[in-house]
Protein backbone atom coordinates (compact mmCIF):
# COMPACT_ATOMS: atom_id res chain seq x y z
CA UNK A 1 0.00 0.00 0.00
CA UNK A 2 1.43 3.36 -1.01
CA UNK A 3 1.21 6.11 1.55
CA UNK A 4 4.16 8.31 0.68
CA UNK A 5 6.68 8.53 -2.06
CA UNK A 6 10.12 10.05 -1.79
CA UNK A 7 11.15 13.50 -0.68
CA UNK A 8 13.86 14.28 -3.16
CA UNK A 9 16.11 17.17 -3.98
CA UNK A 10 17.90 17.76 -7.24
CA UNK A 11 20.64 20.37 -7.34
CA UNK A 12 22.15 21.34 -10.67
CA UNK A 13 24.63 24.12 -11.29
CA UNK A 14 23.55 25.83 -14.50
CA UNK A 15 25.77 25.40 -17.53
CA UNK A 16 27.86 28.48 -18.20
CA UNK A 17 28.27 30.37 -21.44
CA UNK A 18 31.54 32.14 -22.14
CA UNK A 19 31.94 34.87 -24.72
CA UNK A 20 35.41 36.08 -25.65
CA UNK A 21 38.74 35.06 -24.18
CA UNK A 22 38.47 33.50 -20.79
CA UNK A 23 37.58 30.35 -18.96
CA UNK A 24 34.61 28.53 -17.51
CA UNK A 25 34.17 25.62 -15.14
CA UNK A 26 32.28 22.38 -15.67
CA UNK A 27 33.32 20.80 -12.41
CA UNK A 28 29.91 21.47 -10.87
CA UNK A 29 27.66 20.77 -13.83
CA UNK A 30 26.66 17.29 -12.72
CA UNK A 31 23.20 16.74 -11.37
CA UNK A 32 23.24 15.99 -7.67
CA UNK A 33 20.33 14.85 -5.59
CA UNK A 34 19.65 14.39 -1.95
CA UNK A 35 16.92 12.32 -0.37
CA UNK A 36 15.60 13.29 3.03
CA UNK A 37 13.97 11.04 5.59
CA UNK A 38 10.44 9.87 4.86
CA UNK A 39 7.85 8.85 7.39
CA UNK A 40 6.66 5.71 5.63
CA UNK A 41 8.24 3.44 3.06
CA UNK A 42 7.16 3.12 -0.54
CA UNK A 43 4.80 0.20 -0.06
CA UNK A 44 3.96 0.32 3.62
CA UNK A 45 1.41 -2.18 4.88
CA UNK A 46 1.10 -0.75 8.35
CA UNK A 47 -2.01 1.10 9.44
CA UNK A 48 -0.09 3.14 12.01
CA UNK A 49 1.95 5.85 10.32
CA UNK A 50 3.88 8.73 11.77
CA UNK A 51 2.23 12.09 11.58
CA UNK A 52 3.83 15.45 11.01
CA UNK A 53 3.19 18.46 13.18
CA UNK A 54 2.36 21.99 12.19
CA UNK A 55 4.30 24.95 13.50
CA UNK A 56 2.30 28.16 13.74
CA UNK A 57 5.28 30.43 13.04
CA UNK A 58 4.74 31.91 9.60
CA UNK A 59 5.65 34.87 7.47
CA UNK A 60 3.37 36.86 5.22
CA UNK A 61 5.45 36.56 2.04
CA UNK A 62 3.29 33.95 0.34
CA UNK A 63 1.63 33.30 -2.99
CA UNK A 64 -2.14 33.09 -2.64
CA UNK A 65 -3.07 33.03 -6.32
CA UNK A 66 -5.15 30.14 -7.57
CA UNK A 67 -3.21 29.77 -10.81
CA UNK A 68 0.30 29.32 -12.12
CA UNK A 69 2.66 31.78 -13.76
CA UNK A 70 4.10 31.05 -17.20
CA UNK A 71 7.09 29.05 -15.97
CA UNK A 72 4.94 27.04 -13.59
CA UNK A 73 2.37 26.42 -16.32
CA UNK A 74 5.15 25.20 -18.59
CA UNK A 75 6.28 22.78 -15.89
CA UNK A 76 2.71 21.56 -15.30
CA UNK A 77 2.18 20.97 -19.03
CA UNK A 78 5.47 19.12 -19.40
CA UNK A 79 4.85 16.81 -16.43
CA UNK A 80 1.46 15.88 -17.86
CA UNK A 81 2.96 15.35 -21.32
CA UNK A 82 5.44 12.92 -19.81
CA UNK A 83 2.74 11.14 -17.81
CA UNK A 84 0.54 10.88 -20.90
CA UNK A 85 3.41 9.45 -22.96
CA UNK A 86 3.87 6.86 -20.21
CA UNK A 87 0.15 5.95 -20.33
CA UNK A 88 -0.66 7.50 -16.94
CA UNK A 89 -3.57 9.72 -16.03
CA UNK A 90 -2.81 13.42 -16.00
CA UNK A 91 -2.57 15.55 -12.88
CA UNK A 92 -4.73 18.50 -11.92
CA UNK A 93 -3.41 21.62 -10.26
CA UNK A 94 -4.34 22.06 -6.61
CA UNK A 95 -4.39 25.70 -5.51
CA UNK A 96 -3.39 24.96 -1.92
CA UNK A 97 -0.47 22.83 -3.08
CA UNK A 98 0.49 25.53 -5.60
CA UNK A 99 0.73 27.99 -2.74
CA UNK A 100 2.61 25.53 -0.52
CA UNK A 101 5.11 24.82 -3.30
CA UNK A 102 5.55 28.51 -4.07
CA UNK A 103 6.06 29.34 -0.41
CA UNK A 104 8.75 26.68 -0.10
CA UNK A 105 10.58 27.83 -3.24
CA UNK A 106 10.42 31.35 -1.85
CA UNK A 107 11.90 30.11 1.43
CA UNK A 108 14.71 28.34 -0.44
CA UNK A 109 15.44 31.46 -2.47
CA UNK A 110 15.35 33.88 0.47
CA UNK A 111 17.70 31.68 2.49
CA UNK A 112 19.91 30.57 -0.41
CA UNK A 113 19.45 26.92 0.50
CA UNK A 114 18.03 23.67 -0.81
CA UNK A 115 16.10 21.35 1.50
CA UNK A 116 12.68 19.87 2.16
CA UNK A 117 12.73 21.21 5.69
CA UNK A 118 12.35 24.78 6.92
CA UNK A 119 13.64 26.42 10.08
CA UNK A 120 11.06 28.51 11.91
CA UNK A 121 13.52 31.33 12.59
CA UNK A 122 14.38 31.77 8.90
CA UNK A 123 12.79 34.18 6.43
CA UNK A 124 9.77 32.85 4.57
CA UNK A 125 9.01 30.02 7.00
CA UNK A 126 5.57 28.42 6.55
CA UNK A 127 6.08 24.95 8.04
CA UNK A 128 8.84 22.51 8.85
CA UNK A 129 7.84 19.66 6.52
CA UNK A 130 5.93 19.47 3.21
CA UNK A 131 2.92 18.18 5.15
CA UNK A 132 3.15 21.08 7.61
CA UNK A 133 3.27 23.63 4.81
CA UNK A 134 0.25 22.12 3.05
CA UNK A 135 -1.68 21.73 6.31
CA UNK A 136 -1.00 25.37 7.21
CA UNK A 137 -2.85 26.38 4.03
CA UNK A 138 -5.73 23.98 4.66
CA UNK A 139 -4.74 20.88 2.69
CA UNK A 140 -5.49 18.19 5.23
CA UNK A 141 -3.93 14.98 3.84
CA UNK A 142 -0.41 15.42 5.18
CA UNK A 143 1.39 12.69 3.23
CA UNK A 144 2.79 14.36 0.15
CA UNK A 145 5.57 13.55 -2.27
CA UNK A 146 7.88 16.45 -3.02
CA UNK A 147 10.58 16.96 -5.63
CA UNK A 148 12.80 20.01 -5.31
CA UNK A 149 15.48 21.20 -7.70
CA UNK A 150 17.79 24.20 -7.83
CA UNK A 151 20.16 25.76 -10.33
CA UNK A 152 18.27 25.10 -13.55
CA UNK A 153 17.52 27.92 -15.97
CA UNK A 154 14.09 26.66 -17.09
CA UNK A 155 11.21 24.40 -16.15
CA UNK A 156 12.24 22.08 -18.98
CA UNK A 157 15.75 21.69 -17.56
CA UNK A 158 14.43 21.16 -14.04
CA UNK A 159 12.01 18.41 -15.00
CA UNK A 160 14.36 16.69 -17.45
CA UNK A 161 17.07 16.59 -14.79
CA UNK A 162 14.58 15.12 -12.32
CA UNK A 163 13.45 12.53 -14.86
CA UNK A 164 17.04 11.37 -15.41
CA UNK A 165 17.33 10.68 -11.67
CA UNK A 166 15.62 7.36 -11.01
CA UNK A 167 14.14 8.06 -7.57
CA UNK A 168 12.73 11.42 -8.74
CA UNK A 169 11.40 9.81 -11.91
CA UNK A 170 9.34 7.30 -9.95
CA UNK A 171 7.86 10.25 -8.04
CA UNK A 172 6.60 12.05 -11.15
CA UNK A 173 5.36 8.77 -12.67
CA UNK A 174 3.54 7.63 -9.52
CA UNK A 175 0.23 5.93 -10.33
CA UNK A 176 -1.31 6.95 -6.98
CA UNK A 177 -1.21 10.75 -7.39
CA UNK A 178 -3.68 12.98 -9.20
CA UNK A 179 -2.93 16.54 -8.00
CA UNK A 180 0.16 18.71 -8.01
CA UNK A 181 1.28 22.08 -6.83
CA UNK A 182 4.18 23.86 -8.52
CA UNK A 183 6.11 26.83 -7.22
CA UNK A 184 9.10 28.50 -8.88
CA UNK A 185 11.11 31.38 -7.46
CA UNK A 186 14.19 32.29 -9.47
CA UNK A 187 16.11 28.98 -9.85
CA UNK A 188 14.27 27.16 -7.05
CA UNK A 189 11.66 24.64 -8.19
CA UNK A 190 9.24 22.82 -5.86
CA UNK A 191 6.74 20.14 -6.91
CA UNK A 192 4.23 18.92 -4.28
CA UNK A 193 2.14 15.91 -5.30
CA UNK A 194 -0.73 14.18 -3.54
CA UNK A 195 -3.87 12.05 -3.76
CA UNK A 196 -7.13 14.03 -3.76
CA UNK A 197 -9.21 10.92 -2.95
CA UNK A 198 -7.36 10.45 0.32
CA UNK A 199 -7.51 14.18 1.01
CA UNK A 200 -11.30 14.01 0.69
CA UNK A 201 -11.37 11.40 3.45
CA UNK A 202 -9.43 13.81 5.66
CA UNK A 203 -12.06 16.46 5.00
CA UNK A 204 -14.83 14.13 6.17
CA UNK A 205 -15.71 12.81 9.61
CA UNK A 206 -13.25 11.00 11.85
CA UNK A 207 -14.02 7.31 12.37
CA UNK A 208 -15.26 6.59 15.88
CA UNK A 209 -16.32 2.96 15.59
CA UNK A 210 -14.63 -0.27 16.60
CA UNK A 211 -12.31 -2.37 14.47
CA UNK A 212 -9.30 -1.46 12.33
CA UNK A 213 -8.53 2.11 11.35
CA UNK A 214 -5.70 4.31 10.14
CA UNK A 215 -4.58 7.11 12.47
CA UNK A 216 -2.36 10.10 11.75
CA UNK A 217 -3.16 10.40 8.04
CA UNK A 218 -4.61 13.89 8.31
CA UNK A 219 -3.61 17.20 9.81
CA UNK A 220 -6.21 16.96 12.57
CA UNK A 221 -4.95 15.39 15.79
CA UNK A 222 -6.71 12.13 16.60
CA UNK A 223 -8.37 11.84 13.17
CA UNK A 224 -9.07 8.24 12.16
CA UNK A 225 -10.06 6.60 8.87
CA UNK A 226 -11.78 3.20 8.90
CA UNK A 227 -9.41 0.62 7.37
CA UNK A 228 -11.64 -0.73 4.57
CA UNK A 229 -12.68 2.79 3.57
CA UNK A 230 -9.05 3.86 3.37
CA UNK A 231 -7.91 0.76 1.47
CA UNK A 232 -10.67 1.21 -1.11
CA UNK A 233 -9.82 4.88 -1.59
CA UNK A 234 -6.10 4.14 -1.73
CA UNK A 235 -6.65 1.69 -4.62
CA UNK A 236 -8.86 4.04 -6.66
CA UNK A 237 -6.19 5.97 -8.59
CA UNK A 238 -3.85 3.02 -9.30
CA UNK A 239 -6.80 1.09 -10.75
CA UNK A 240 -7.29 3.90 -13.28
CA UNK A 241 -3.70 3.55 -14.47
CA UNK A 242 -1.90 0.94 -16.61
CA UNK A 243 -0.50 -2.38 -15.47
CA UNK A 244 3.05 -1.09 -15.93
CA UNK A 245 4.87 2.13 -16.79
CA UNK A 246 8.07 2.16 -18.83
CA UNK A 247 10.55 5.00 -19.25
CA UNK A 248 11.73 6.18 -21.69
CA UNK A 249 8.39 5.58 -23.40
CA UNK A 250 8.14 3.40 -26.49
CA UNK A 251 9.37 5.24 -29.61
CA UNK A 252 10.55 8.22 -27.56
CA UNK A 253 13.13 10.49 -29.17
CA UNK A 254 15.53 13.15 -27.87
CA UNK A 255 16.35 11.15 -24.74
CA UNK A 256 19.47 12.43 -23.00
CA UNK A 257 22.22 9.77 -23.13
CA UNK A 258 23.70 10.39 -19.69
CA UNK A 259 23.06 10.12 -15.96
CA UNK A 260 25.41 11.70 -13.42
CA UNK A 261 24.61 11.62 -9.72
CA UNK A 262 21.83 11.21 -7.19
CA UNK A 263 22.04 11.29 -3.42
CA UNK A 264 21.55 8.77 -2.07
CA UNK A 265 23.43 7.42 -5.05
CA UNK A 266 21.97 4.40 -6.86
CA UNK A 267 25.42 3.82 -8.42
CA UNK A 268 27.90 4.49 -5.65
CA UNK A 269 30.91 3.52 -7.78
CA UNK A 270 30.01 5.65 -10.82
CA UNK A 271 29.71 9.38 -11.29
CA UNK A 272 28.83 9.20 -14.98
CA UNK A 273 26.83 6.48 -16.71
CA UNK A 274 24.06 6.01 -19.23
CA UNK A 275 20.47 7.20 -18.92
CA UNK A 276 18.56 4.65 -16.80
CA UNK A 277 15.77 2.61 -18.36
CA UNK A 278 12.96 1.71 -15.98
CA UNK A 279 9.70 -0.14 -15.53
CA UNK A 280 7.25 -0.02 -12.64
CA UNK A 281 4.32 -2.40 -12.21
CA UNK A 282 0.95 -1.56 -10.69
CA UNK A 283 0.61 -3.36 -7.35
CA UNK A 284 -3.20 -3.10 -7.58
CA UNK A 285 -3.20 -5.12 -10.80
CA UNK A 286 -0.30 -7.56 -10.36
CA UNK A 287 0.54 -9.47 -7.21
CA UNK A 288 4.15 -10.36 -8.03
CA UNK A 289 6.93 -9.91 -10.61
CA UNK A 290 9.60 -12.63 -10.51
CA UNK A 291 12.45 -14.22 -12.51
CA UNK A 292 13.29 -10.94 -14.16
CA UNK A 293 15.61 -10.49 -17.13
CA UNK A 294 16.27 -6.87 -18.19
CA UNK A 295 18.51 -6.19 -21.20
CA UNK A 296 19.39 -3.33 -23.55
CA UNK A 297 20.35 -3.67 -27.20
CA UNK A 298 22.05 -1.40 -29.75
CA UNK A 299 21.96 -2.28 -33.45
CA UNK A 300 21.09 -5.87 -32.61
CA UNK A 301 24.00 -6.28 -30.19
CA UNK A 302 23.40 -6.50 -26.45
CA UNK A 303 24.81 -3.72 -24.29
CA UNK A 304 26.44 -5.92 -21.66
CA UNK A 305 28.05 -3.34 -19.38
CA UNK A 306 24.89 -2.67 -17.40
CA UNK A 307 23.54 -2.99 -13.87
CA UNK A 308 19.94 -3.87 -13.01
CA UNK A 309 18.59 -2.44 -9.76
CA UNK A 310 15.54 -3.85 -8.01
CA UNK A 311 14.27 -4.10 -4.46
CA UNK A 312 16.97 -6.58 -3.45
CA UNK A 313 19.89 -4.72 -5.03
CA UNK A 314 18.93 -1.09 -4.35
CA UNK A 315 21.63 -0.04 -1.89
CA UNK A 316 19.41 2.75 -0.56
CA UNK A 317 16.31 0.65 0.01
CA UNK A 318 13.91 2.84 -2.00
CA UNK A 319 12.84 0.42 -4.75
CA UNK A 320 9.72 -1.64 -4.19
CA UNK A 321 9.26 -5.17 -5.48
CA UNK A 322 7.44 -3.62 -8.45
CA UNK A 323 10.22 -1.27 -9.59
CA UNK A 324 13.16 -2.14 -11.84
CA UNK A 325 15.84 -0.02 -13.50
CA UNK A 326 18.62 -0.88 -15.94
CA UNK A 327 21.64 1.41 -15.75
CA UNK A 328 24.07 1.36 -18.69
CA UNK A 329 27.45 1.75 -17.00
CA UNK A 330 28.75 3.81 -19.92
CA UNK A 331 27.10 6.82 -21.52
CA UNK A 332 24.72 5.97 -24.33
CA UNK A 333 25.70 7.14 -27.81
CA UNK A 334 24.26 10.34 -29.22
CA UNK A 335 21.48 9.99 -31.81
CA UNK A 336 21.14 6.23 -31.52
CA UNK A 337 18.17 3.84 -31.23
CA UNK A 338 18.19 1.41 -28.30
CA UNK A 339 15.92 -1.57 -27.70
CA UNK A 340 14.89 -2.62 -24.19
CA UNK A 341 13.70 -6.16 -23.37
CA UNK A 342 12.08 -7.02 -20.03
CA UNK A 343 11.11 -10.65 -19.39
CA UNK A 344 9.41 -11.83 -16.20
CA UNK A 345 6.94 -14.18 -14.55
CA UNK A 346 3.67 -12.49 -13.62
CA UNK A 347 1.91 -13.70 -10.47
CA UNK A 348 4.22 -16.70 -10.34
CA UNK A 349 2.77 -18.48 -13.37
CA UNK A 350 2.61 -16.43 -16.57
CA UNK A 351 5.83 -15.71 -18.48
CA UNK A 352 5.77 -12.43 -20.38
CA UNK A 353 8.16 -10.20 -22.33
CA UNK A 354 7.91 -6.46 -22.90
CA UNK A 355 9.90 -4.90 -25.76
CA UNK A 356 10.27 -1.23 -26.60
CA UNK A 357 12.66 1.17 -28.32
CA UNK A 358 13.81 4.75 -27.82
CA UNK A 359 16.31 7.09 -29.47
CA UNK A 360 18.81 9.38 -27.81
CA UNK A 361 19.17 13.04 -28.65
CA UNK A 362 21.93 14.75 -30.60
CA UNK A 363 23.78 17.72 -29.05
CA UNK A 364 23.75 19.78 -32.28
CA UNK A 365 23.29 19.36 -36.02
CA UNK A 366 27.07 19.05 -36.23
CA UNK A 367 29.03 17.39 -33.46
CA UNK A 368 32.42 15.79 -33.04
CA UNK A 369 33.67 13.12 -30.64
CA UNK A 370 37.09 12.97 -29.02
CA UNK A 371 37.55 9.35 -28.02
CA UNK A 372 38.49 8.46 -24.45
CA UNK A 373 41.95 7.31 -25.54
CA UNK A 374 42.65 10.61 -27.36
CA UNK A 375 43.78 13.77 -25.62
CA UNK A 376 43.07 16.19 -28.47
CA UNK A 377 41.28 16.73 -31.73
CA UNK A 378 41.04 19.21 -34.61
CA UNK A 379 37.96 19.82 -36.73
CA UNK A 380 36.68 22.22 -39.38
CA UNK A 381 33.50 24.18 -38.69
CA UNK A 382 31.22 26.67 -40.38
CA UNK A 383 31.20 30.29 -39.23
CA UNK A 384 28.11 31.10 -37.18
CA UNK A 385 27.02 27.46 -36.82
CA UNK A 386 26.79 25.93 -33.36
CA UNK A 387 28.97 22.85 -33.08
CA UNK A 388 29.15 20.38 -30.20
CA UNK A 389 32.31 18.63 -29.04
CA UNK A 390 31.85 15.48 -26.97
CA UNK A 391 34.79 14.30 -24.85
CA UNK A 392 34.15 10.62 -24.26
CA UNK A 393 34.68 9.77 -20.56
CA UNK A 394 37.75 7.64 -19.88
CA UNK A 395 35.94 5.74 -17.12
CA UNK A 396 32.87 5.82 -14.88
CA UNK A 397 34.25 8.66 -12.78
CA UNK A 398 35.34 10.98 -15.59
CA UNK A 399 32.29 13.15 -15.06
CA UNK A 400 33.68 16.63 -15.62
CA UNK A 401 35.89 18.52 -18.01
CA UNK A 402 36.99 20.67 -15.10
CA UNK A 403 37.75 24.29 -15.91
CA UNK A 404 37.77 25.23 -19.58
CA UNK A 405 39.99 27.91 -21.11
CA UNK A 406 40.32 29.04 -24.70
CA UNK A 407 42.09 31.41 -27.07
CA UNK A 408 41.05 32.36 -30.56
CA UNK A 409 41.74 34.38 -33.68
CA UNK A 410 38.07 34.34 -34.76
CA UNK A 411 35.93 37.46 -34.51
CA UNK A 412 33.81 36.06 -31.70
CA UNK A 413 33.37 32.85 -29.70
CA UNK A 414 30.38 31.65 -27.68
CA UNK A 415 31.13 28.64 -25.50
CA UNK A 416 28.75 26.67 -23.29
CA UNK A 417 27.98 23.22 -21.92
CA UNK A 418 25.54 20.68 -23.30
CA UNK A 419 26.42 18.48 -20.34
CA UNK A 420 29.47 17.91 -18.16
CA UNK A 421 31.29 16.01 -20.95
CA UNK A 422 30.08 18.02 -23.94
CA UNK A 423 30.70 21.60 -25.08
CA UNK A 424 28.79 23.65 -27.58
CA UNK A 425 30.77 26.23 -29.52
CA UNK A 426 29.77 28.93 -31.97
CA UNK A 427 32.53 30.90 -33.66
CA UNK A 428 32.23 33.59 -36.30
CA UNK A 429 34.95 34.92 -38.55
CA UNK A 430 36.82 34.28 -41.77
CA UNK A 431 38.23 31.12 -43.29
CA UNK A 432 41.23 29.88 -41.36
CA UNK A 433 40.37 31.64 -38.12
CA UNK A 434 40.12 29.32 -35.11
CA UNK A 435 39.46 28.71 -31.44
CA UNK A 436 41.69 26.51 -29.28
CA UNK A 437 39.99 25.02 -26.23
CA UNK A 438 41.74 23.32 -23.32
CA UNK A 439 40.30 21.60 -20.25
CA UNK A 440 41.92 21.17 -16.86
CA UNK A 441 41.64 17.38 -17.17
CA UNK A 442 44.13 17.39 -20.04
CA UNK A 443 41.87 17.49 -23.11
CA UNK A 444 42.02 20.00 -25.96
CA UNK A 445 40.34 20.72 -29.28
CA UNK A 446 40.94 23.14 -32.14
CA UNK A 447 38.03 24.30 -34.31
CA UNK A 448 38.94 26.09 -37.55
CA UNK A 449 36.52 27.94 -39.83
CA UNK A 450 36.48 26.32 -43.22
Decide: helix, strand or coil at residue 67. coil
Instruction: Write the DSSP string, 230-299.
Output: HHHHHHHHHHTS-SEEEESPTTEEEE--EE---SS-SSTT-SSEEPPEEEEE-TTT-S-EEEEEEEEEET
User: What does the DSSP 8-state code read for residue 400?
Assistant: -
Q: How far apart are CA 419 and CA 58, in angstroms?
A: 39
Buried b / exposed e across 87-118, counting CB within 10 Å, b at 16+? bbeebebbbbbbbbbbbbbbbbbbbeebbbeb
Instruction: Kindly list the distances between the CA atom of residue 289 and the CA atoms of 12, 182, 244, 310, 388, in Å, as whole numbers in the listed order.
Output: 35, 34, 11, 11, 42
Q: Which secondary structure element, helix H or strand E, spans residue 200, and what is its range?
A: helix 196-202
Q: What is the pLDDT of residue 32?
A: 31
Q: What is the pLDDT of residue 67?
A: 74
Longest dimension (CA), the chain: 86
Ranges under pLDDT 50 in the chain: 1-6, 10-66
Q: Where are the alpha helices (DSSP H) in 61-191?
A: 70-85, 95-110, 130-137, 155-164, 166-172
Q: How far apart are CA 225 and CA 207, in angstroms?
A: 5
What phi and psi, each to the nearest 5 degrees, are found at residue 232? Answer: -65, -45
Q: What is the pLDDT of residue 264?
A: 78
Q: What is the pLDDT of residue 9?
A: 53
Taking a C-beta distance cutoff of 8 angstroms, is the pair 25, 52 a contact?
Answer: no
User: What does the DSSP 8-state code read for residue 224?
Assistant: E
| Residues with Cβ within 8 Å of residue 324, at least 6 apart in sequence | 278, 279, 280, 289, 292, 294, 308, 309, 310, 342
Question: 122-161, pLDDT tens digit by residue?
Answer: 999 999 999 999 999 999 998 899 999 999 999 999 999 9
Q: Is 268 exposed, middle or buried (0-12, 13-18, 19+ CB in 10 A)?
A: exposed
**pTM attached to this predicted model:** 0.85
Q: Is 401 exposed, middle or buried (0-12, 13-18, 19+ CB in 10 A)?
A: buried
86: alpha, beta or left? (left if phi > 0; alpha if psi -120 to 50): alpha
Amino acid sequence: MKLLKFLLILVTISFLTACGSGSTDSSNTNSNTETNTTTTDNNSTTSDTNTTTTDDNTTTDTNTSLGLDDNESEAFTLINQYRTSAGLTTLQTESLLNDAAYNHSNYLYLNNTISHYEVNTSSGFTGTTPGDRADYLGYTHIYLSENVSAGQTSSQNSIDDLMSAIYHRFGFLDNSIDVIGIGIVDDRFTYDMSNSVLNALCEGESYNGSGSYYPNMCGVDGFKIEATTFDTANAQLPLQNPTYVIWPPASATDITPVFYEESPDPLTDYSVSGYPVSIEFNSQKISSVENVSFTLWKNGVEVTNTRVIDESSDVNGYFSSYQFALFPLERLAWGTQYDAVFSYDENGTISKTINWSFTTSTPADTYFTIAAEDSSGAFNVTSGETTAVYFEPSDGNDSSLGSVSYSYSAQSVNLGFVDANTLDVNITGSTGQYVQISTSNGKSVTLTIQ
